[in-house]
Amino acid sequence: MRILLVEDDPMIGKSVQDALKKQESYAVDWVRDGVAAELALGNGVYDLLLLDLGLPRKAGLEVLSGLRARKSPIPVLILTARDAVADRVAGLDAGADDFLVKPFDLDELGARIRALMRRHSGRASPVIEHGDLKLNPLTHEVELDGKPVILSAREFALLSALLERPGAPLSRSQLEERIYGWGEEVESNTIEVYIHALRRKLGAHWILNLRGVGYMVPKEP
């Protein structure tokens, strides 16, 4: 999962980015003003926007209004100051899905993000099930036929991306976009290496390689 974080406070930005990368193995890109946020959002690669409201160059509310005016469905979680009740209300009215008041606990941020993504994907239960395969985004546990499967953080992120839409292939570059943030070194064959590891651990039939197109989890496992 790839997140855009928009925050001009360097300490908050750094701690949020570090925590989400390490604890949740999300790819997190961080920009520090509203104009940079709009440029980054133009790529359309993000699964979630974490948006501070008081930002240089362009206010967070303006960024949000513009996003919704362009009919972007991306889930948005607002990060706001304690005394800014009016801002929070305006943010929700402008199309934010949730907000968190600063200073917030990083574990709570992780939990809010998971809840938001569950609501967004229409799943009430946190566990993703596909055939005999179960994947828990909260605990990062994976089970196949009732037996635990141990995956690395990157393998888990890759499998989660593929399981969002079984039967729909993702290209190598789409997968790279999902599991790496900016400035993270991507070696040329890493996706293949992770796919190979996943097929070895789960069974080759779980991940199909469509030559020249990409990879997918079959619709009917």
* Residue 203 binds Ca ion (CB under 5 A): no
CB closer to Ca ion out of 55 and 202: 55
CB closer to Ca ion out of 102 and 165: 102
Among positions 8-37, residues that touch Ca ion (CB under 5 A) are: 8
* Residue 52 binds Ca ion (CB under 5 A): yes
* Residue 98 binds Ca ion (CB under 5 A): no
First to last CA, the chain: 23
- Smallest distance from Ca ion to CB 81, Å: 8
Q: Which two tokens stand for residue 137?
A: 């985004």
* Residue 101 binds Ca ion (CB under 5 A): no
Q: Give the burial class of 44: count Cβ atoms within 10 A of its Cβ; 0-12 exposed, 13-18 middle, 19 or more buried.
A: exposed
CB closer to Ca ion out of 17 and 160: 17
CB closer to Ca ion out of 6 and 207: 6
Please state, in angstroms and rounded to a whole number, the distance separating the CA atoms of residues 61 and 66: 9
**Pick from 65, 81, 73, 94: nearest CA to 8:** 81
Applying CB under 5 A, the site for Ca ion has a residue count of 3
- Smallest distance from Ca ion to CB 10, Å: 11
Q: Which of 23, 54, 115, 136 binds Ca ion (CB under 5 A)?
A: 54
Amino acid at 121: S
Chain residue at closest Cβ approach to Ca ion: 54
Residue for token pair 């005999």: 132
Peptide bond before residue 103 is cis, with ω within 30 degrees of 0:
yes
Mention every residue, 6+ apart, whose C-beta is less than 8 A from residue 88.
78, 80, 99, 101
Binding residues (CB under 5 A) for Ca ion: these are: 8, 52, 54
